[in-house]
Structure 1
Amino acid sequence: MSSASVPTAPRPEKRPVVRSHHGDTFEDPYEWLREKDSPEVVAHLEAENAHTDAALAHLEPLRERIFQEIKGRVRETDLSLPSRRGQWWYYGRTIAGKQYGVQCRAPIAGPDDWTPPQLSAEVEVPGEQVLLDSNAEAEGHEFFSLGSFDVSKDGTLMLWAVDVAGDERYTIRIKDLTTGEILPDVIEGTFSGAHFLPGGTHIVYTTVDDAWRPDRAWLHPVGTAGREADREIYRDDDERFWVGAGVTRSDRFLVVESGSSITSEVALLDAATVATDPDAKPQVVWPRREGVEYGVDHAVIDGEDWLYILHNDGALDFELVRARVGAPDVVETVIPHEPGRRLEDVDCFRDFAVVEYRREGLTRVALLDYRTHALTEIEFDEPLFAVGLGGNPEWAPPVLRLGFGSFTTPGSVFEYVLDSGELVLRRQVEVLGGYDPADYDQARLWVTAQDGTRIPVSLVWKRSFGEPGSAPRPVHLYGYGSYEHSIDPAFSVARLSELDRGIVFAVAHVRGGGELGRQWYEDGKLQAKRNTFTDFVDVARHLVENGYTTPDRLVAEGGSAGGLLMGAITNLAPELFAGILADVPFVDALTTILDPSLPLTVIEWDEWGDPLHDPAVYEYMKSYSPYENVREGVTYPRILAMTSLNDTRVMYVEPAKWVARLRDVGADALFKCEMVAGHGGVSGRYNSWRERAFQLAWLFDVLGVADA
């Protein structure tokens, strides 16, 4: 399509709304776009979509080519590795042409059958039962998300919960697997993560308040319609805390957890009696104390009940202690605090525990001996990798499932044989089209930030194009840097379309993430948040100054809080980037965090600060919030912002306002709003592949490799 046939970019009318806090006044011309149900707002969003479609119409052949590349690398009809629970092997199927997976099971051969069967998509599985076909569930809906799926311990009942709008509010249903009957239970407005209690007579689920905060846990008697018979077992009125509930692997306790970004509290109920005892009250393990986080699991050692408690009370990178049930304040240290070794999780089994932690920026998994407290780390020989505990529902398994992957190794499932210490590869995602990991390489480099801090940067590339840094190459630089969330090495089929065109993919592990422990997070939040942005700029500048790339061949990408990073670096150093891909971007951060009536705002004060009541926080946030800091008189990189109308975490209005403001200063900014989707974008694997192809085609065009 010629530029002359591309319609003029939408320019929403300016209707100033004055915002005044702490003596500062800000005139917001586009706040009226927040009226989601307004026909005028919907018309504007549709006009934005039409403009973006027209502006990028010339990339349609490239988008289709990328989509076919992704599709051609995936075995569309496949089965996952079966996982044993009770008398069954559970697994998932994917079927060519179908958007969603199918949940299945097949009977075990006998009690000693722990070797997963070698299932084939082409051969009928003896005794297979199809439990849930999400394609059938999704029929007639533009969006579909499965938020809960569980089978009772005896294998006779199944629950599932579905969202067909994208707002992460799910409807639970229950099926009798012995008769095929759908029970009368229909529980609407729930959050994700519902589970059966061990006896199968009740389920536990959570609901959200008006601010989309999970605030209550409920017990529902199986076989009853609606919620009239349901019993509230826990409620947290503190607007900063999220509530979750589950059952220990031992089946001994129903655990209710309540946590904010910096504080947590765990309460236990007897899983065997809570359903029949209307007076049962959750017993708090440790009363909440501001700034103290902890998690609890249950073990039985020599017939005695113990609680294993992972906490950060006086231990920045956490330590592991244990206490007898009934005496949680009398603790014994199991794994002492060690700076730089960030303990992240503990899972108790009958004969051992598994501890997951970070060291030197990478994830680790180790077995813990209950009696000696010795740790046995399971080792892998790649320079960059991610490993974690896989699906291990059984209390006393002879093998331990682990998930493993890297930038060059497709997602893999290993089994660690407990008796021998042997590590057995059970499954690796098959990449079609002749993928050879030896054709690609990965490495980590360290960039010195302006304050002297060393920032880790991960690189992955195709060897045939030469070593990164040997000559300027197109670079795709990704970042996040919030909530102690780490961007760990992971394989991506879609990314191969980049690498095969000579693009170097890089991840800037900036402060605010969790790659280097809790201090790394602390140094990129609240009043230190600007470190996240300057770290990313310093990495980009290093890549340019050291010959890895040039500004006209560098595109940055981030989503959600990483979208805030994108907006901030666009204002800080627009000259360093050719393009910015911002997905569900949190770019109107100050407006959002000032309004406690909006979903999640109060919860977020622990992460960003409270600008509503603290003038210093207000001033600091206003200094970096992307929307307020769009600059006149600069040349901005090309920008593509994408969002979803029904996103409850980062509302569509933020990128809508940001793009409008960018256009005011002459920026080449495009905006695409999925009208039926959620925070994670569109649903369905083919739809998600097409969405990624849309983004990559734009990225290739910016980097000058659209014809490659």
Structure 2
Amino acid sequence: MKNLSLTIGVALLLASCKEEKKAAIMNPDVIKAPVAAIKPHPMTLHGDTREDNYYWLNEPENPEVIKYLEAENAYTDTVMAPTKALQEKLFNEMKGRVKEQDESVPVKDGDYYYYSKYVEGGEYPVYCRKKGSLEAPEEILLDGNAMGKGKSYFNIGGYEITDNEEIMAYGVDEVSRRNYTLKFKDLKTGKILKDEIKNTEGGSYAWAADNKTIFYMIRDQQTLLASKVYRHVLGTDPKTDVLVYTEKDPQFYTGIGRTKSKKYILSVSDHNGVSSEYRLLDATNPTGEFVTFFPRKHGLQYYIEHFGNKFYIRTNADGATNFKLMEVEEGKTADMKNWKTVIPNRADTYLDGMEVFKNHLVLQERSNALLHLRIINQTDKKEHYVKFDEPAYDAGVSANPDFETNTLRFYYTSMTTPSSTFDYNMDTKAKTLMKEQEVLGEFDKDNYVTERLFATARDGVKVPISIVYKKGFKKDGSQPLLQYAYGSYGYSTDPYFSAARLSLLNRGFAFAIAHIRGGQEMGRQWYEDGKLLKKMNTFNDFIDVSEFLIKEKWTSKDKLFANGGSAGGLLMGAVTNLRPDLYKGILAGVPFVDVVTTMLDETIPLTTGEWEEWGNPKDKVYYDYMKSYSPVDNVVKKAYPNMLITTGFHDSQVQYFEPAKWVAKLRALKTDKNILLFHCDMDAGHGGASGRFKRFHEVAREYAFMLNLVGIGE
């Protein structure tokens, strides 16, 4: 009888374990999914009618919209309830790797060393400086924790300090709409001045040399474009501020700044990778007139740095697809005949950026999907490159405000090397590691491997892939893999380290970045071949990389996940429609998925400036092409993979209603039983939650979603 009782007890225990295991699996049917009301809204253009049943979700003030978003959030929380313990564990892991009391490497600017730091338990940075030496007493400029206390969202959007180092201008956003209130602090007394200007472009501030005049930009509250440059004098009423420039072309983005030499204030307008125009003002004459450096011309891009009595120009002039370096004397800039070539265009190397010093010129170049730093001596013109050893990495010029120094400050990271700051003697070539971001716990970079792979796309193009995994990963198709990409605006996604990502790698995942067309990893043409009427290359590249990873047994269809955000969220929507069979799950953050409707609505923030990236659908050619891939327009009755879609209610770049409409349409049409979850952070915008730890909750949710789907519960 004892043996029988033992047998029955074991059987009951096993049954109980099975029940627990079963209960731990996410079940989309545990609660009825929200159903958005269908309210037909036909839209006709070029003789074609699109029916948007969920156009009503565009109304953020509508209580019915809020109710629907909250219902989606509740549904997500309920379905993901079995992962709650795992999410908490992941969050604690991620937070536990962060050194809570930490600070950046100080940067010398003028008489002070500037740095930021985090204090134990603090969500926000504290900005500080020390005068003369690092042994001097610390002066706290801004305490982000005190300023952000009790606020659901908080962000300091850059700061600028007067030439006499006594007044600080800084922007604060407390909504996550990227409307920054410009404020001023007297650093001698510590008092906040009465001057306050709302709805400015964060970080786009420039002081004149008189230490009392500042230039800033106001954002249009409907389009959210910053098109007007104003001049403010401390102590005067902002209502009397002088409008000094208005950008009349809504396709141009405008910014304001100061040259490193401090001689000029710059106002620049940029047409989204198509053309640019600089206007200069002598910083000692703030009431003077801005003078155009070279008038805008469609197709001509140029970017300038002042040096001595001349300017260096990075430009695509005369068909320099990958950009060339030119120079021109002051006062002779408006006639391109005066521009002289310093470094010509190269077919295999993209000139990505430059940094000017008294004795050296540093060029940031990109070739074979990797960044390189080229050092040129200004006197004897001798040159060399900084050496990097890993097969895939990210490196670039950091903050270098000191014009007189022979030391270059640069950053370096890879998928196995935490973010590192180096000082490099440009004469002796001595490289000094100033700081490697500390990862707490049992992290050892030697336990992880990074590789560079190339997948052949359907048109024969070789697409680079950067991949990382923990040693012991089996390349037999049995292990899960997360594939990430962006692929738009010429933005290059370089191989970077993520301490949070270790939680995936340690549980058997590999992580791959697909350097697809639309970025600029392989040069300017790589971008040109992934925009406008060639946008399908971006989506096809991602799919072809997925098929390559499956074929080479890095993973399998039932273990492959895809992730992208914003324009990368458009990528997720497109590949989900094109090849839903390839993926176990899709993670789409703040996804730009209602492409045609948004590009047709000039009242929606930032739309007009995007036409050179996607095309203007008022032109039938672009309308038809855009409609062929726009995710919302291509949802049909068929099976889709498991999906977790996230957004922010205050998003100023991709409005919350785009993913909301996408989800509503997917729920109505998808034929599968897979999980479809939608979470809208009602306090956040495009960048998600503010604070260094809060964001880990979002990452933990995404990781738990994937881990649960492949049966990993711990």
Smaller-chain TM-score bracket: over 0.9
Specify which of 98, 103, 108 is matched with residue 74 of structure 1. Answer: 98
- Indicate conservation of the 8 Å contact 2:416/2:448, yes or no: yes
Q: Aligned partners of 1:497, 1:407: CA distance in 2, in Å? A: 14
**SS of match in other structure, 1:465:** coil
Deviation of 1:246 after TM superposition, in Å, equals 0.6
Q: Separation in 2 of the partners of 1:597 and 1:175?
A: 36
1:387 counterpart (388, 395, 398): 395
Query: For 2:171 and 2:61, how far apart are their aligned partners in 1?
Result: 27
Residues 1:144 and 2:154 are matched in the alignment? yes
The structural deviation recorded for 1:370 is 3.0
Q: Does 1:637 align with 2:661?
A: no
Q: Is 2:668 the partner of 1:664?
A: yes
Q: What's 2:702 paired with?
A: 695
Q: Following TM superposition, by how much is the alpha carbon of 1:706 offset from its aligned partner in structure 2, in angstroms? A: 2.9
CA contact (8 A) 1:249 1:349 kept: no
- The alignment of Structure 1 onto Structure 2 pairs a total of residues equal to 680
Work out the CA distance in 2 between the residues paired with 1:296 and 1:489. 28
- Structure 1 runs of 4+ off > 6 angstroms? none
State the shift of 1:473 in Å.
Answer: 1.6
- Distance between the aligned counterparts of 1:683 and 1:676, measured in 2? 9
Deviation at 1:373, TM superposition (A): 4.5
One-letter amino acid of the counterpart of residue 82, structure 2: H
Cα distance in 1 for partners of 2:376, 2:332 equals 22
Structure-2 separation of matches of 1:375 and 1:461: 36
Correspondence 1:400 to 2:408:
yes
Q: Give the counterpart of 2:626 among 621, 630, 641.
A: 621
CA distance in 2, matches of 1:472, 1:335: 49
SS at the partner of 1:586? coil
Would you say the 8 A contact 2:357–2:406 is kept in 1?
Answer: no
Residue of structure 2 equivalent to 1:114? none
1:464-521 alpha-carbon deviations (Å, 9 max, x no partner): 334xx34432000001110000110111011000110110000111110110011000
* Structure 2: unaligned runs, 5 residues or longer: 1-22
Tell me what 2:513 maps to.
Answer: 507
What is the aligned partner in structure 2 of residue 236 from structure 1?
A: 247
Shift of 1:347: 2.1
Deviations 1:11-65 (A, max 9, x none): 0110000000100011110111101110110111011101101110111100011
1:218 to 211, 230, 234: 230
Gap regions ≥5 residues in structure 1: 110-116, 118-124
Counterparts of 2:693 and 2:396, CA distance in 1: 27
Map 1:192-591 to 2 at 5 A: 192-193=202-203, 194-209=205-220, 210-225=222-237, 227-261=238-272, 262-273=274-285, 275=286, 277=287, 280-300=288-308, 305-313=309-317, 314-328=319-333, 329=336, 330-466=338-474, 469-591=475-597
Shift in Å, 1:174: 0.6
After TM superposition, the structure 1 stretch with the greater mean CA deviation from structure 2, 214-223 or 535-544, is: 214-223
Q: What amino acid sits opposite 2:479 in the alignment?
A: R
The range that moved more, 529-538 or 540-549, is 540-549
Deviation at 1:222, TM superposition (A): 2.0
Instruction: State the partner residue of 2:32.
Output: 8
Paired with 2:67 and 2:208, the residues of 1 have a C-alpha distance of: 47
Seen in structure 2, the aligned counterparts of structure 1 residues 470 and 198 have a Cα distance that, compared at 3 Å, is farther
Whole-angstrom CA distance in 1 between matches of 2:646 and 2:663: 10
**2:605 & 2:501 partners in 1: Cα distance?**
33
Partner of 1:603: 609
C-alpha displacement at 1:104, in angstroms?
1.0
The normalised TM-score by structure 1 is 0.94
Query: Partners of 2:132 and 2:379 in 1: how far apart?
Result: 33
The answer to whether the 8 A contact 2:195-2:234 is kept is yes
RMSD: 1.5
Could you list the per-position Cα deviations for residues 124-176 of structure 1 after superposition, in whole angstroms to 9, with x for gaps in the alignment? x7511111001111123200111121222322111211010111000011111
**Which amino acid letter does the alignment assign opposite residue 398 of structure 1?**
N
Q: Distance in 1 between matches of 2:692 and 2:551?
A: 39
Comparing 409-418 with 389-398, which one deviates more in the overlay?
389-398
Tell me whether 26-35 or 194-203 shows the greater mean CA deviation. Answer: 194-203
| Distance in 1 between residues matched to 2:303 and 2:200, nearest whole Å | 24
Amino acid at match of 1:270: D
Residues 647 and 678, structure 1, Cα contact 8 Å, conserved in 2: yes
2:126: which partner in 1?
Answer: 102
SS in structure 1 at match of 2:693: helix
CA offsets 1:174-200 (integer angstroms, 9 cap, x no match): 111111121111011101112323332
Taking every aligned residue pair, what percent have the same amino acid on both sides?
41
Q: What letter is aligned with 2:348? A: G
Secondary structure of 1:65's aligned partner: helix
Contact 2:43 2:49 in 1 (8 A): yes
TM-score, normalization by structure 2: 0.93
**C-alpha distance in 2, partners of 1:153/1:703?**
57
Distance 1:358 1:352 in 2: 19
- Work out which of the residue numbers 679, 685, 706 in structure 2 matches 1:678: 685
One-letter amino acid of the structure 2 residue matched with residue 35 of structure 1: E
CA contact (8 A) 1:558 1:581 kept: yes
What residue identity is the alignment partner of 2:570? L
Paired residue secondary structure (2:678): strand
Corresponding position of 1:120 = none
Residue in 2 that maps onto 1:122: none
Residue type of the alignment partner of 1:26: R
The residue matched to 2:239 in structure 1 has which SS? Answer: coil
Q: Distance in 2 between matches of 1:224 and 1:356?
A: 42
The residue matched to 2:262 in structure 1 has which SS? coil
Aligned pair partner of 1:647 in 624, 646, 651: 651
User: 1:554 corresponds to which letter in structure 2?
Assistant: L
The match for 1:26 is 50
Q: Secondary structure, in 3 states, of the residue corresponding to 2:468?
A: strand
Letter in 2 for 1:254: I
Give, as a single letter, the amino acid of the residue that structure 1 aligns with 2:713: A
**Separation of aligned partners in 2, 1:6 and 1:40:** 24
